[in-house]
Structure 1
Amino acid sequence: MVEKDTRRRTIHDVAQAAGVSISTASNALNGTGRTNAETRERVIRVAKEIGFRPNALARGLLSKRSHAIGMLTNDTYGRLTLPMAAGVSEVLVDHGLSVFLCATNNDPRLARLHLEALLDRQVDGIIFTATRLDLEPPAELAKLAIPVVYAFAEGPPETISFFPDDAQGARLAVEHLKGLGRSRILHITGPEDYLSVRIRAEAYCESFGKGAEVHYGDWSEEWGHEAIDAVFSRPGEKPDAIFCGNDEIARGVIDALRDIGITVPKDVAVVGFDNWEVISRQTRPPLTTVDMELKEIGRRAGLAILRLTQGEAVPTGITRLSCRLVVRQSCGGQAG
C-alpha cells in the first residue's frame, strides 16, 4: 500500500517542480521582480497542481499586512450583524482578506479584550457594528492607527458610518398602506429611547398626517398583543391598518387580531419592519415588511475598509442606505 504524501508543500517544492530557482518561484507567486509571463504562468500552475499554499504569516511579514479585518459587535445573537458580516465577507474574500467576528455582549471589559486580541493579530482594519444606532462605540476605536468603519452605528466626527434610512423606510410602509386605501393607520413600535424608533415614528406622523397615533412599548410579540387589546377594547373608530416597529411586534399584532376575530388583511392590513425572514415568512399570513438591506450595509462597509487598507481616500460622514418594502400577504399582496 502506497502512503499518501500529506506534508505541507513549500516554495522549495514549487521551485523544484517548475524547474526554476526559489527566488524566481517567489517572485512569480508574489507578482514581484522581472519574471517573464510564461515562467510566471508555469509557476502559478505548478503551485496549484501540487497544492502549495503560501504561509500567511510570512506573507504578512513581507507586506506588513495581516490580510484580516476585525468585526466588533454588541450583537450577541447575530440578528443584525450576521447579514452585515455576509456582505463584508462577500467584498473581502476575493481580495484575500479574512474576517474575525467578535461579540462583546455589551460588556466594556469584553470589548477591550476582543479589541486587544484583534490588535495583537495585527488586523488591517476594524468594522464596528451595533444593535442600535445610538449605541456609543468603544472610545478606544477613535484612537487606533488602523482604519475603522462603522456599520449600523454612528462613529465620531470625521469617521465613516453606514446605516439604514429609517425615515425613508417608515414612509415606504405608510405610503404603501395609503395606496391600498387604508385611512386609519396606527403605529405600534418599540421603546421610545431608541433613536431609530423616534425617527420612524416622526416619519410616520409626517407621512400619515392628522390622526397619527403612536404606541411605544417593547420589541416583543407580547407587546403587540397588549397594544391590540388596549386599542380594540376602547370605544370609537378602529384602525384599518397597523404599521409595526419590528416583525416581532407585527406577529404579535396579527395573532392578537386573529384572537378577537379580525381578519388580516381584509379588515386590518399589517406592515412590519426588519424583514427577519424566520418571522416574516412564517407569520400567518406572511408579513409585508420593510427590509433594512443589512447585507448591502455590510457590503458598503467592506468596500470602504478595503479602500482604506489599500491607502485610498474615502469620504467621511454618514451614509444612509435606502430601505426596501417586501410585499407579502398581510397587506393583500402575494407572498414574497
Structure 2
Amino acid sequence: MADPTPRATTLRDVAAQARVSLATASKALNDRGDVAPATRDRVRAAADALGFTPNHVARGLLAGRSGTVGLLTSDLEGRFVIPILMGAEDAFGAGQVNVFLCDARGDAIREQHHLQALLSRRVDGIIVVGRQTDQRPSLGQDLPVPVVYAYAPSDDPHDLSLTPDNYSGGRLAIEHLLSIGRTRIAHVSGDPAYAAAQDRLAGARAALDHAGLALVGDPMFASWTEHWGRDATRALLERHPDIDAVFAGSDQIARGVLDAVHATGRRVPDDVAVIGYDNWEALATGSTPEITSIDAGLQNLGRQAAQRVFDAIDGVDTGEGTHHLPVRLVIRGSTIARR
C-alpha cells in the first residue's frame, strides 16, 4: 500500500523547531523589525531545515499591505483613551506602521463614517478604543481586516477584546488595606451604571469575604468627582466614626475623601487610610499625602492591542472573547502602615 501524501510543513512546525512562539516565527520570516537578529536567524534556519515554503496566497497578501492601521476612538479628549492610544502608537512606531486616528465622539453614525473611510484607505487592521469598560456594539464579523477592541469590550464574544481587570483591582485594593491592619473599610465610588464601578465593588467584597469581613455601611455611588468624595465621606464618618479606611472608586473621589477626613480633624493615613483607583499621577502625587492607587496599565493595554493586530496581520490566530489584563498597586503616603 502506498504511503499517504506527507503533511506539508507548517509555520507551527517551524516555530516548534526554532523554540519560539508562532507570532515570533511569523515576524522573523516576514522581516518584521521587532525580532532579535539571532532569533530571526534561528527561525530561518529551522524553515530551511524543514523545507518550509510560505503559502503563495499569503505572500500575495503580504505584498499588498498598505502599512497602515486605523485607531477608532469614541472619546479622544478622555483621560483614559489618551494613554491607550499612546501605548498603541508606541508599538506601531516600533514596527514602522502608519496610523490613521479617528474620533467618533461617541456618535454611532460618525463611527460608521470613519470606519468606511479607514477601509477605503485599505488599512491592514483596526483598534477600537472605548471611553469606559462597558460593552459596546460590535462592528460586525464581515470586515475585511482584523479588529481588536481595547478598554470597552465588544458585545460579540467572537470578537477579540482587551480590558483592564477591574475585579482584581478591587480585590487588590482591599487586600492592601487589610495588610496594613485596616478592618473598618468603607467604599465610595462613581456612577453605579458603569461596569467598572460594579466590577471594583465585586472584587472588594470578595476580598473582604475571604477575610471574614464586610464593608462598613452600604457602598456609596454617585459621580466620579472630588465633590462627591467629600460629601460621601462626611456622611460616612458621621454614621460610622470608627471607619479606619476608605476605598475610593477613582483618584478624583479619593482626593475628595482626603479633604473630608482632614476636615474632621482626623489624619491620613494614621486614623483613616485612603486608596484610590486609576493612578492619575498628576492628581495622586499632587495630593497631601500622595494617594495610593490601582494602576490599570492603560499604555500596556494599548501596546497589547497593537501587538494582537500585528499578529492577526501576520496570520497568527489571536483568539476571541474578552481578555482581562492585570492591574497593579502603587503605594504612596495615604496608606502607610501603622506602627
332, 335, 338: which is aligned to 1:331? Answer: 335
CA separation in 1, counterparts of 2:241 and 2:325? 37
Alignment check: 8 A CA contact 1:231 1:238 kept: no
Q: Are 2:113 and 1:113 aligned? A: yes
304, 309, 324: which is aligned to 1:320? Answer: 324
> 1:317 offset after TM fit, Å?
2.0
User: Secondary structure at the residue paired with 1:140?
Assistant: coil
Q: Are 2:270 and 1:271 aligned? A: no
Normalising to structure 2: TM-score of the pair?
0.76
**2:54 matched to which residue of 1?**
none
> 1:63 offset after TM fit, Å?
3.1
- CA 1:150/1:296 → structure 2, altered by over 3 Å: closer, same or farther? same
**1:226 matched to which residue of 2?**
231
Q: Deviations over 1:197-249 (max 9, x none)?
A: 11111111121133314111111111101101211223x44310000101110
Structure of greater Rg: 1
- CA 1:282/1:257 → structure 2, altered by over 3 Å: closer, same or farther? same
**1:185 matched to which residue of 2?**
185
Structure 2: tracts of 5 or more residues without a match: 1-29, 32-60
Following superposition of structure 1 onto structure 2, how do residues 174-213 of structure 1 map, counting pairs within 5 Å?
Answer: 174-209=174-209, 210-212=213-215, 213=218
Q: Are 2:285 and 1:286 aligned? A: no
Q: Are 2:94 and 1:90 aligned? A: no
CA separation in 2, counterparts of 1:281 and 1:301? 28
CA separation in 1, counterparts of 2:135 and 2:319? 23
Q: Are 2:138 and 1:149 aligned? A: no
CA separation in 1, counterparts of 2:250 and 2:102? 25
> 1:175 offset after TM fit, Å?
0.6
**2:7 matched to which residue of 1?**
none
> 1:301 offset after TM fit, Å?
0.7
Q: Deviations over 1:291-332 (max 9, x none)?
A: 001111111111100111122221222221111000000112
Q: Are 2:244 and 1:245 aligned? A: no
Alignment check: 8 A CA contact 2:132 2:152 kept: yes
CA separation in 2, counterparts of 1:283 and 1:143? 49
Alignment check: 8 A CA contact 2:131 2:151 kept: yes
CA separation in 2, counterparts of 1:131 and 1:140? 16
> 1:62 offset after TM fit, Å?
9.5
Normalising to structure 1: TM-score of the pair?
0.77
User: Secondary structure at the residue paired with 2:139?
Assistant: helix
CA separation in 2, counterparts of 1:242 and 1:207? 14
Structure 1: tracts of 5 or more residues without a match: 1-29, 32-60
Q: Say which is worse superposed, 241-250 or 224-233, in terms of deviation.
A: 224-233
Q: Say which is worse superposed, 280-289 or 139-148, in terms of deviation.
A: 139-148
**1:309 matched to which residue of 2?**
313
What's the RMSD between the two structures over aligned residues?
Answer: 2.1
**1:131 matched to which residue of 2?**
131
Alignment check: 8 A CA contact 2:157 2:322 kept: no
Identity of aligned residues (%): 38
